[in-house]
Every structure is written in structure tokens, then in C-alpha cells.
């Protein structure tokens, strides 16, 4: 299947609203220009063929939203999304990609452009259908930036109920792991967690 849902309706209001929410309430003190971030995002995506947005196209947007984190708080995860949410909720000092401004703004959204007419609200290509998928490229660059910032004692949450808890093809295995800086990361705390009901692989 090559087509999936189109761009999330009202994407501009959602993205800009989340940005204002983040810089006003979630992480006050950040001086980011939400309208400018949106303009850079739009510049990368709209009026492009839907499979033709590279990570480089997003560089101006990322440049408009620099962010750093204190060490020892970085939490990476792979195939443990549900668990990660409750884990990070309980262990409140952890930060995941979704706690960064870019992760917060684009979480769960879909988008792709259309030559000539802006966003394509009818259908977007499947995530893995093309090399330069606009959603994939953004998450790839966001993941890389997050991993490059990581320092100190970091934590990785893997799924012990699936065959390949560590998968080289996952975003963690293919992008984040290779972006960690061995001069900055001094300890990797790997937690392999199974479902309560198993299987315990
Ligand atoms: C893809 O983008 C590049 C540069 O942004 C452009 O030169 C090229 O024509 C585009 N290809 C398609 C198929 O739209
Ligand atoms: C492991 O992966 C399965 C299948 O994706 C998922 O249903 C389950 O919630 C995951 N387990 C943990 C502990 O994250
Ligand atoms: C790293 O952090 C984990 C989880 O917070 C902790 O259990 C572990 O002892 C720490 N390791 C070092 C060497 O500080």
C-alpha cells in the first residue's frame, strides 16, 4: 500500500499552537519565534513533490529552534513507546525526543507537499515508500540532533518481548546510536523491558 492519510487537517494551527504552548507553559524562557519556525517548515515542505524533502531542507527550520539539555537526563527508546510514556511520567527527570520543542510540535502529525499547491491534504506516501519522505526526514534530523546533544549517563529503553530488541534499522539503531558522541556520553544504561504477560525474549 503506497498511499496513506493526507496531511493532518489544520496542521498550521496545531503546529503553531503547540509551539506557543511549549514556549509559554511547558518550557517558559525559551525565546523562539513560532511564526518563523512555521515559515521555515513550510518553506521546506510545500510546493515540493511529496517524496522530495531531504534532511538538509529542514536545516533552516532547526536553525531557528536551537535547544540544549542538561546532562544525565537523556532517554532513548525503541519499540517501547507506550512504556516510555509511563516511564518518563514516573521518572520525571528524563527527557525524550518528544520533550524537545521539535518533538513536541510534530508528534503524531502527518504532512507532505504537493507541487504547485502547498500541502497535500488528500494523501501522503507511506513512510518507507521513498527515500526523502518529508515526515521521515524531519524525524531523522530531530533524532540526530537529540543524540548529538546527549551527554553524561544516558538511558535506553528497549523491548524484550520482540525478537530484535536492538534493531539496526530502527531510528535508534540507524541514526541515534551512531550520533552519540563518545567524548560526551560516559555511561549507557540499557534497560530491556518485557511485557508483564510476556513473552520474555
Ligand atoms: C527535488 O528537489 C530538488 C532540489 O530541492 C530539485 O532540484 C528536484 O527537481 C526535485 N525533484 C522532483 C522530482 O521534484
Ligand atoms: C513491545 O512491542 C509490542 C509490539 O509492538 C508492544 O505491543 C508492547 O507494548 C511492547 N512492550 C513494551 C514493554 O514496550
Ligand atoms: C546511570 O543512571 C542510571 C539510571 O538513572 C543508574 O541506575 C546508574 O547507576 C547510573 N550509572 C552511573 C555510572 O552513574
Distance 155 CA to ligand 2 centre (A): 18
62, three cell numbers:
532547526
Atom of ligand 2 nearest to the CA of 195: 13
By DSSP bridging, strand 3-5 and strand 123-125 are antiparallel
As to burial, measured by CB atoms within 10 angstroms (0-12 exposed, 13-18 middle, 19+ buried), residue 108 is exposed
Q: What structural domains does the chain harbor?
A: 3-193 (1.20.82.10)
- Check residue 4 and give its pLDDT: 67
- Check residue 3 and give its pLDDT: 53
**Confidence (pTM):** 0.91
Cα(69)–Cα(119) distance, rounded to whole angstroms? 33
- Check residue 24 and give its pLDDT: 95
pLDDT, one tens digit for every residue, the chain (201 residues): 345 689 999 999 999 999 999 999 999 988 899 999 999 999 999 977 888 999 999 999 999 999 888 889 899 999 998 888 888 777 778 899 999 999 999 999 999 998 888 999 998 998 778 889 999 999 999 999 999 999 999 999 999 999 999 999 999 999 999 999 999 999 999 999 999 998 999
- Check residue 116 and give its pLDDT: 80
33, three cell numbers:
519565534
5, three cell numbers:
492519510
Ligand 3 lined by 187 (C-beta under 6 Å): yes
Instruction: Residue 157: name the closest of 51, 76, 92 by CA.
Output: 76
- Check residue 88 and give its pLDDT: 78
Cα(115)–Cα(98) distance, rounded to whole angstroms? 30
Q: Is 124 a catalytic residue?
A: no
Distance 150 CA to ligand 3 centre (A): 15
195, three cell numbers:
511485557
Cα(22)–Cα(98) distance, rounded to whole angstroms? 11
Q: Is 34 a catalytic residue?
A: no
Q: Tell me the C-alpha to C-alpha distance, in Å, between residue 101 and each of 20, 41, 72, 137, 186.
A: 10, 13, 19, 16, 25
Amino acid at each position: 500500500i503506497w498511499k496513506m492519510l493526507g496531511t493532518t487537517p489544520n496542521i498550521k494551527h496545531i503546529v503553531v499552537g503547540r509551539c506557543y504552548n511549549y514556549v509559554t507553559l511547558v518550557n517558559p524562557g525559551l525565546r523562539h519565534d513560532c511564526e518563523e519556525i512555521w515559515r521555515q517548515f513550510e518553506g521546506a515542505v510545500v510546493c515540493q513533490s511529496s517524496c522530495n524533502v531531504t534532511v538538509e531542507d529542514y536545516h533552516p527550520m532547526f536553525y531557528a529552534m536551537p535547544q540544549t539539555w542538561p546532562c544525565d537526563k537523556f532517554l532513548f527508546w525503541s519499540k517501547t513507546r507506550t512504556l516510555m510514556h509511563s516511564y518518563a511520567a514516573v521518572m520525571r527527570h528524563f527527557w525524550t525526543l518528544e520533550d524537545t520543542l521539535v518533538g513536541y510540535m510534530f508528534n503524531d502529525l502527518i504532512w507532505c507537499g504537493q507541487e504547485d499547491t502547498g500541502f497535500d491534504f488528500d494523501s501522503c506516501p507511506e513512510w518507507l515508500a521513498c527515500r526523502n519522505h518529508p515526515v521521515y526526514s524531519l524525524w531523522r534530523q530531530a533524532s540526530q540532533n537529540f543524540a548529538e546533544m546527549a551527554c553524561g549517563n544516558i538511558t535506553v529503553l528497549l523491548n524484550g518481548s520482540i525478537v530484535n530488541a536492538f534493531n539496526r534499522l530502527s531510528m535508534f539503531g540507524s541514526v541515534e546510536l551512531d550520533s552519540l558522541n563518545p567524548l560526551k556520553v560516559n555511561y549507557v544504561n540499557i534497560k530491556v523491558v518485557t511485557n508483564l504477560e510476556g513473552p520474555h525474549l
